[in-house]
Amino acid sequence: MHLIITDARLARSRAIHLSGTRLVLVGLAVSLCLMVVAAGLYHWVFLKGAREGWPIVGSLVRLVVKDEFAERDRFMRANLDAMARRVGEMQARMVQLESLGDRVLGLAGMAPADIPKQDARGGALVSARNLSMEELQATLDDLERLTNQRVDLMTVLESRLFDQHIRNKMIPTHAPVTGRVAGSGFGWRVDPITGQSALHTGLDFQADTGTSILAAAGGVVVTQEYHPAYGNMVEVDHGNQLVTRYAHASRVLVKQGDIVRRGQKIAEIGTTGRSTGPHLHFEVLVQGVFQDPQKFLNVGGTATGAQVAAVQPSPLAGLRATPATGR
C-alpha cells in the first residue's frame, strides 16, 4: 500500500509504502486510539452528566439503574422467600424435637414442666405477606436461642441417662449362675446339717464343681478370703452401700481391689466351707442388712437407682451381715 503526503508550503511530496504487517499495526493503533477517545467521552459525557443531572443523560441513567435495582430486588426477594421457607421447616422440626424431648425427660426421671419451652402460638390464617429482612433476622435469632436451649437440655439428658445406665450396671440383677434356678430360697428353713430351723440369708444355686460364677453387677472386689462358714468367698461392692457375696467357691479368679464388670466370671462353684455339696451361696446386702436376692434378679435389667433405694428391708432387717451357721 502506498501513501503520498504533499506539503503545499514546501511544494514537495513524500511517498510512504506500507506492507501488510505495518498495515495491521497501524489498524491496531488507530483502534486503540478510538477506544481511548470513547472511554474519555463516556467518562466526560455519561458519568459527568449523571452526576450533574443533565436532562437526557440523567433520565437514561435512572432508567438503567432502575432496571438493575429491580433485578436485584427480585433476586433478594427470591432468596428471602427461600430462607423463610427453610426457617419455617426448621421451626416445625424444633416442635417435633420438643415433643421427643418430653418423652425422653420421663426416661431420665425429669419433669417436663421444669424445662422452658417456646411460647405456644396459633390461630386462623387471615392473610399472608412476605417477611422483611429484619423480621427474618429476628426469627433466626429466636430459633438460635431455642436451639441453644435444646442443646443444653440434651446435654443434661445425656448426663442423666448415662448416670442411669451406669447405675443399672451396678445393680445385682444378673444371674450369678447361667441357666440355673435357685434351689434353696431366702428366709427361714430347716438347716441341712443341724436339722433345726435356721435363717437362710441368700440363694443356693446347685451346679457341678467348676461351673462359672458370674458377677451379678459391676463393682469393686472388697473381700476375697477363706471363711470357715462361707469357704472361698468373694464380696463385691456396687456402691450406694450395696454388696453381693459369693460363697463356697472351689476357685477364685479375682482379688481384693479388682474392678469387675456385670456378668464377668469371678470364681468357680465348689463345696468349700460349711456345705453339703457343690453349689453357690449368693447374698445381697443393703446397708449391711440381708435382702432377698430374688427380688433383684426378678427385676432383671430394668432396675433403676430409685428402685434400689425403694427396696424395703426384709422382716429380717435386724439381722446384720454375720456368718450364718447353715448353708
CB 306 within 8 A of CB 109: yes
Contacts of 324 (CB under 8 A, 6+ apart): 198, 199, 200, 201, 229
Residues 304 and 192 in one domain: yes
CB 206 within 8 A of CB 278: yes
pLDDT tens per residue, the chain (327 residues)? 555 556 556 556 666 666 667 677 777 888 888 888 887 776 666 666 666 665 665 666 666 666 666 777 777 777 777 777 777 777 777 777 777 776 676 666 666 555 555 555 544 444 455 666 677 777 777 877 777 777 777 777 777 776 666 666 678 889 999 988 888 888 888 888 888 888 899 999 999 999 999 999 999 999 999 999 999 999 999 988 899 999 999 999 999 999 999 999 999 999 999 999 999 999 999 989 999 999 888 877 444 444 444 444 444 544 555 544 344
205 has which bridge partners? 280
Residues 95 and 201 in one domain: no
Beta 212-214 vs 203-206: how paired, if at all? unpaired
82 alpha-carbon distance from chain centroid = 30
Residues 286 and 200 in one domain: yes
Reduced to 3 states (helix: H, G, I; strand: E, B; else coil), residue 195 is coil
Residues 158 and 213 in one domain: no
For residue 241, CA distances in Å to 119, 147, 148, 225, 286 come to 45, 40, 39, 20, 6
E-assigned strand segments in the chain: 2-7, 12-17, 187-190, 197-200, 203-206, 212-214, 219-227, 231-237, 242-252, 259-260, 265-269, 279-286, 289-291
Q: What's 177's DSSP letter? A: S
Domain of 296, CATH number, reads 2.70.70.10
Instruction: Look at the chain and report how many structural domains it folds into.
Output: 3
Provide the residue range defining the domain that includes 22. 2-47
